[in-house]
Chains A and B, each alone.
Chain A
């Protein structure tokens, strides 16, 4: 049963991370990010007790809320960057497919290195790392960059939870997640200053 849940979480992670790449509406982006953190929570549960694993999902949801609240207060202007080739949806879908292929290839090797963290856990974490890096590679928009970094860190945190169970590390990683969301919000507001001025 637990294995089935883990694979369901991996499927959720694939859907949310690909969705994050494709979504153009910031509302969908925030919702997908929050769901992604739930998937991450399920995978972290494989190695951590529920109390510690819930720190991840709570910090993640708080981070998503911070970004969402900040973005909701800003103008709806969006740059044309997102719609031009080779950054269109088809290109992103193709790039995501390549990432998934690479992840499927390297998962067994990484799983062995990571003290047999579990095939699904390793797979889920590598998908997040790969998709996050892809996200960082194809955008320079502050909200997307922040989400890309949060996605990479989520993947890493899943993998790291298999080998490290320290409370201090869990707390510091939660602080870093929240800090990243706050920095992202700060930069979002700053980016909007010019847009507001130019309007």
Chain B
């Protein structure tokens, strides 16, 4: 047995098999359990080390050869697999409550496996090809054959597909820069290519207009899943570029560009969220700001920034899961998610309303919630470098908090003497309740996930050491 087979090929195979099942509960429980099992194997079975269980000996090799190239998962990447499949389990268990299990679970497995393959493939610049395959698979997950696709889906397909050529060409050019480090023109060209590729992939300003459109058109839970897995794995892939190329890592211009882009994302995400009148679009801008926080973490001293980057990952996964599940439940009970139609919805879906507000507050770095510890550390680190940058980050955070309080005002603004009529199912209440408790636990005791996060910087050779 080898690691790529276990965490890439097996999940793809399982995903294909799960396409044959239509039962929401069965899919959700089966998908969640398999994802938990894969996460537990990553936690307890070491890669490249023989594990003895009585007379039985088990060893997971790290690599698999395909068509002259290698898929390789190093022992240090075990924590990442654990985190990704653990978070996937969370999304899959919640899929039944959102009634999206037949889409999220099978396609989710295949997409996650392809994203893991993008981290595992050697030479690593081929990752763009696996990411593109994941993007193509996301289309049937996002849309139904019985409903015409909206503009958001088409733009998502175009923007994400255009990223692949840039990344592949940048990878080739970077090899040239390594061979002749003095060639500044080549370095500038490769950095520009790389920048364009990641701008498309990470939906960096102004290339993020598909995110609000998607959240208006499609089930928020499905979009939320993509807004979790794609940027998370892309940022780790991007950090891999920084780890491999020392000239890139030590370039002050690149660090400055990352900082400005991160701030642009946080500020535009926060400010635009504050002015939205659609609950889905607020989540869209919240996720855009989340990506901005990750870029800001990468712009700090890597010994500080990389642990913060990984601390942002579980908060993002849980926050988006609770937020998108809440919105999906709210969407079921209102005509549209515009403020006018969602007035007083708290009396119909109180837990979903609370979940949405808590998740928004968590994204806005509200104290005691999951997003707070990472953002506080980020803010502190940023203020040491530039007070101006820290103030701009505060502007974005204030925008996100305003959007949370505006949403709260709207959903609690019911007509006088309106009765409480709960429309949430027991499964939805359970999942939302657990999610909200999780957001508080991650905020109050961030060290609870440290056993996973502690080992993550080790996957890089130079960053975070």
Contact = CB atoms under 8 A, between A and B. Distances in A.
Interface in A165-189: 166-169, 171-173, 175-176, 179-180, 182-183, 186-187, 189
Contact of A186 (B66, B133, B145, B189): B145
B158 A136 contact: yes
Interface in A137-174: 140, 142, 145, 148-149, 152-153, 156, 159-160, 163-164, 166-169, 171-173
Main secondary structure of the interface of A (DSSP, over half): helix
B465 interface: no
B191 interface: no
B139 A187 contact: yes
Nearest to A132: B162
A105 interface: no
A179 B149 CA distance: 17
B263 to A, nearest CB: 29
Main secondary structure of the interface of B (DSSP, over half): helix
Interface stretch (B22-30, B165-173, B276-284, B418-426): B165-173
Q: What range describes how many residues of B lie at the interface?
A: 35 or more
B54 interface: no
Interface in B141-169: 143-149, 151, 153-154, 157-158, 161-162, 164-165, 168-169
Interface residues of A, number: 36
A175 B67 contact: no
A35 B126 CA distance: 28
A192 B146 CA distance: 9
B146 to A, nearest CB: 6
Contact of A176 (B132, B154, B162): B132
A149 B161 contact: yes
B126 A156 contact: no
B156 to A, nearest CB: 11
Nearest to A157: B165
Interface string B430-445: 0000000000000000
Interface of B: 66-69, 126, 129-130, 132-133, 136-137, 139-140, 143-149, 151, 153-154, 157-158, 161-162, 164-165, 168-169, 172-173, 186, 189
5 closest A-B pairs (Cβ-Cβ)? A156-B165, A168-B67, A172-B129, A179-B136, A194-B148
